[in-house]
Structure 1
Amino acid sequence: MKSFIPVLISVIPIPILMIAFGVLWKKHPPKSINWIYGYRSIRAMKNDNTWKFANLYQARVWRWSGSILLVFALIFSLNFTKSYKEIPAWIFYTELGIMILTIIPAEIALRRKFDKEGNLR
């Protein structure tokens, strides 16, 4: 059981951050277009409409995917405590990969809702 705590500490930060930013961006989305904070892609930063839509959409995606990742991280951490030296690394890289892949649905949603100039379709 002692090995479970370090594994847990190493695999939960990404899902917790995804959930936290998802909740934060839902309640308080970034107000203005900037390069520091918010969902920043070229398409999302076209105008205020694309910016607001992208941040609210990404908030929803991160809340759901972060929750699912957290459940899977806890399950894998509990089931594989014997190989605790290898598990955190591949769980961490899987979580990081999924976090990066959440860009895809956001960009697809932006492309469906807005044209190349950022005007509503």
Structure 2
Amino acid sequence: MIVNILHSTWCNAALLGGLIFLLMGYLIKHYPPKSINTWYGYRTFLSTRNQEMWDAGNKDAAMVSRQVGSILVLLGICCALFFDRQSDWFMYITVGAVVAGVLYITGYTEWMLSNEFDEEGQRRIPPKL
């Protein structure tokens, strides 16, 4: 029974990764990490410079994570319907989409932080309300 589920096309990386991204984006949006020392949150070199950058980075990462998660869930459902078995191309598409999603979340958030803050961590532009 469990083997049949694991080998079906409904058990794919895009669907599972998309659900994880949706959950992560929801949790960070509704329960944002309070400080840089919190055990969860968007943690990179830029986002841990100061508290203001930490808050902005987590806000952007949560938004993008929900968007990427939605796209991955849709892709996972489409792949599950289109493919009749877990072939090589099925794996390339579903795993590749998750890797591209992670790279996009990180790249977009780092780009937003570098545009919004200067080298010393001071805000260049006023925050959006």
TM-score normalised according to structure 1 size = 0.86
TM-score normalised according to structure 2 size = 0.82
Q: Distance in 1 between matches of 2:17 and 2:54?
A: 24
40, 43, 47: which one aligns with 1:40: 43
Q: How many residues matched?
A: 119
Structure 2 equivalent of residue 9 of structure 1 = 11
- 1:100 deviates by 2.6
Query: Does residue 1:89 correspond to 2:91, yes or no?
Result: yes
Structure 1 equivalent of residue 53 of structure 2 = 50
- 1:76 deviates by 1.6
Secondary structure of residue in 1 paired with 2:10:
helix
Say which structure is richer in helix. Answer: 1
Query: Does residue 1:71 correspond to 2:45, yes or no?
Result: no
Q: Distance in 2 between matches of 1:78 and 1:17?
A: 21
Identity %: 27
Query: Does residue 1:20 correspond to 2:26, yes or no?
Result: no
Query: Does residue 1:103 correspond to 2:106, yes or no?
Result: yes
In structure 2, runs of 5+ residues without a counterpart are 125-129
Q: Distance in 2 between matches of 1:74 and 1:103?
A: 24
